Amino acid sequence: MQPKEIIELLRSEPSLHPVSISGWVRSFRSNRFIALNDGSTIKNLQCVVDFENFEEDILAKVTVGAAIQVEGHLVESQGQGQTVEIQVSKITILGEADPEEVKLTILSPKRHTLEKLREQAHLRVRTNTFGAVMRLRSKLAFAVHEYFQKNGFNYMHTPIITGSDAEGAGEMFRVSGLDPKNPPLDENGAINYKEDFFGKETNLTVSGQLEAETYAMGLGKVYTFGPTFRAENSNTSRHLAEFWMIEPEVAFNDLNDNMDLAEDFIKYVLQYALDNCQDDLEFLENRLLQEEKSKPQSERSEMNLRDKLSFVLDNNFKRVSYTEAIDILKNSKPNKKKKFKYLIEEWGADLQSEHERFLVEKHFKCPVILFDYPAKIKAFYMRLNEDEKTVRAMDVLFPGIGEIVGGSQREERYDVLKSKMKAMDISEEELSWYLDLRKFGTCVHSGFGLGFERLVLFVTGMGNIRDVIPYPRTPGNADF
Ligand code: 4AD
Ligand code: MG
């Protein structure tokens, strides 16, 4: 007997051939109907038991959460909600689940809050919502690779332990092998990192960009897709201390090419989800509709989940310069009525997520790419414009999310880069290898970073970034 997956069985025709299938019990009604799920699909397989012919002590162990194997054959379903079901001839209990203990967990069949599910993150993938989110996450990751591989990019693994601060923002987690209770000290009484494992100070990477640039200067088109770490104390529904970032980097691309790439890439991945994740998207769409019912009419979304994805696919991202955006924001209602927490007074202000969301959700009502930001509020590596005030930066802003992509054309001129680093107090010694790129065949090049979890948030319609990664790391929380 060939065991199969439920997703396959549900697509099969009724047959007299015996089948065998394993999964976890979602429910057992009337001592007759077992809803079995094996994770291959959001749908459960209905297994019908002729209880008069079964040993009672086996049936007693068919409880919510238990792992079982059923044998039987596939018949046309008499009930509603499925076309086929299994007429069970044999049940093997693989792993029991004590109902008294299950009652105390999120496996118990009632509505649990997302916060409660987070506390039991090791069990939450057994719920419909997390099963759907995590299957989508996996599919989206595949689509990311497919897009770049189809388009001639080389997948590059950048180091996780680095000595440099790619963003120059100082938000790094230290990596050290020193004994924290008794570290070696130098003559000034400071910790002597020369005696540490790597003989220098090291940290977890905040971005693979600088290393990706070196490889773009030889392979032409590269991308990274890996974990990145930020020790920023942002306790929001959009920030994680450990998140996955996708960073393409392309030689000879300018900022316009970079914007084209970001838009094309995002659209490809969204289309992939629509084409390949129908059942999970449908479930999440209905979940969202239910959730929205508890909100006042004015706060409810005008579009359902799949319409929102299609809308992004069908429309061009609106490209707007920072300067234009500041004008819009300055004259906007929430600014004039002092509704923004951070009022926009003048050119040069850093945009907060309330401003980004105003532009996207209220003003343009579509994804927006903002470009040419003030040099002062952006990282050292971005290319300085002729005006010497702005840099060739771009951020892609999404409805409900805010910034989903940050990128730029890179400063390829040796002298300009060097003086920018100096002005921003970035160690030339630590980044000499990065400066070298500008000495040996430098050229125009560009890239961006997309926060994978923010993409998963958008596609799944979930509201909190902690609910789209298996084990979220946030300030004060590294459980599991
Ligand atoms: O804008 P960021 O900081 O840009 C960079 O790191 C560049 N080196 C990328 C590049 O040009 N290669 O981060 C890029 C994206 C953001 O737009 C956001 O989507 C995501 O990474 N991101 C986070 N996601 C979750 N939690 C955080 N704390 C994040 N910080 C950034
Ligand atoms: Mg950014």
Ligand 1 atom closest to Cα of residue 247: 12
Token pair of 250 as six digits: 């392309």
Does the beta carbon of 285 lie inside 6 Å of ligand 1?
A: no
Question: In this structure, what are the phi and psi dihedrals at residue 157, rounded to the nearest 5 degrees?
Answer: -95, 115
List the structure tokens of 252: 């000879």
Q: Is 34 in the pocket of ligand 1 (CB under 6 A)?
A: no
Q: How do residues 251-286 score in pLDDT, each as one tens digit?
A: 999 999 999 999 999 999 999 999 999 999 999 999
Assess whether the C-beta atom of 406 lies below 6 angstroms from ligand 1.
yes
Which tokens belong to 113? 């809050």
What is the pLDDT, as a whole number, of residue 1?
55
Please enumerate in sequence order all residues whose Cβ is within 8 A of that of 93, keeping only pairs 6 or more positions apart, or say none.
58, 61, 62, 66, 67, 68
List b or e across 383-417, with b for residues whose CB sees 16 or more CB atoms inside 10 angstroms. Answer: bbbeeeebbbbbbbbbbbbbbbbbbbbbbbeeeeb
pLDDT, position 297: 83
Check: CB of residue 461 under 8 Å from CB of residue 288: yes
Judged by its nearest atom, the ligand closest to the C-alpha of residue 403 is 1
Contact, 10 vs 82, CB < 8 A?
Answer: yes
- Of ligand 1's atoms, which has the minimum distance to the CA of residue 404? 19
Distance (angstroms) between ligand 1 centre and the Cα of 206 equals 8
| CA-212 nearest atom, ligand 1 | 12
Residues of the chain with pLDDT under 50: none
Q: Is the CB of 209 under 6 A from ligand 1?
A: yes
Closest CA relative to residue 414, chosen from 439, 385, 446, 445: 439
User: Residue 166: its pLDDT value, please?
Assistant: 82
Number of the ligand closest to the Cα of 239: 1
For ligand 1, whether the C-beta of 399 sits within 6 Å is no
Report the predicted TM-score, pTM, of the whole model to 2 decimal places.
0.96
The reply to whether ligand 1 has any atom less than 6 angstroms from the CB of 407 is yes
Report which protein residue has its CA nearest ligand 1's atom 21: 451
Q: What Å distances lie between residue 72 and 19, 45, 229, 447, CA to CA?
A: 6, 12, 49, 55
Ligand 1 pocket member 356 (CB < 6 A): no
The number of the ligand 1 atom at minimal distance from the alpha carbon of 234 is: 28
Give the pLDDT of residue 147.
Answer: 98
Q: How far is residue 393's CA from residue 248's CA, in Å, rounded to a whole number?
A: 15
pLDDT score recorded for residue 413: 98
pLDDT score recorded for residue 315: 93
Q: Is the CB of 401 under 6 A from ligand 1?
A: no
From the CA of 169, the nearest ligand is 1
245: Cβ below 6 Å to ligand 1?
yes
Closest-approaching ligand to the CA atom of 207: 1
Q: Encode pLDDT of 372-420 as tens digits.
A: 999 999 999 999 999 999 999 999 999 999 999 999 999 999 999 999 9
Q: Whose CA is nearest to atom 23 of ligand 1?
A: 451
**Closest listed ligand to the CA of 238:** 1
Residue 16 neighbours by CB under 8 Å, 6+ apart: 73
Cα 339 to middle of ligand 1, angstroms: 27
Which atom from ligand 1 is nearest to the alpha carbon of 239? 26
The residue nearest atom 7 of ligand 1, judged by CA position, is 449
User: Given the CA of residue 209, which atom of ligand 1 is nearest to it?
Assistant: 12
The residue whose CA is least distant from atom 18 of ligand 1 is 451
Mutate to test the pocket of ligand 1, among 204, 214, 223, 454 (most ligand atoms within 8 A of CB): 454
Q: Give the β-pairing of 18-29 and 67-76.
A: antiparallel
* pLDDT number for residue 53: 85
